[in-house]
Amino acid sequence: MEAGEIRFMWLMVFFDLPTKTKPQRRRANRFREFLRKDGFIMLQLSVYARVCRGQDAVEKHVRRVRSNLPKEGSVRTLQVTDKQYGRMQLMLGTAPKTETAGTSQMVLL
């Protein structure tokens, strides 16, 4: 990597939030909506990811996640390089129309 080159990173958010009561479900849905509005894509119901342009952007979005935490449950973040994210394997039974199994990396335009 050359000096000054931007390194793309992926920030992943994993969470386990209670949803037994209506207020808990509302808080969980608000958290999911926050993630979506902040540019995260849903990989699974409680796993979201977004690409970030450099470490500063990762830290900015971690701060945003921290400031929008629901009052119950657990939330974890993990940052991985674009290359590591590209090695993720998707294994499906019957693939929904929005996903395909393969080794292709997401292309950003």
d(CA 72, CA 79): 23
User: Which two structure tokens, joined as six digits, stand for 54?
Assistant: 């450099």
d(CA 50, CA 61): 9
Is 82 labelled a binding residue? no
Q: Pick from 26, 65, 24: which is nearest to 48 by CA?
A: 65
The counts of H helices and E strands in the chain are 3, 4
d(CA 1, CA 7): 8
Query: From the annotation, which residues make up the binding site?
Result: 16
Query: From the annotation, which residues make up the binding site for Mg(2+)?
Result: 16
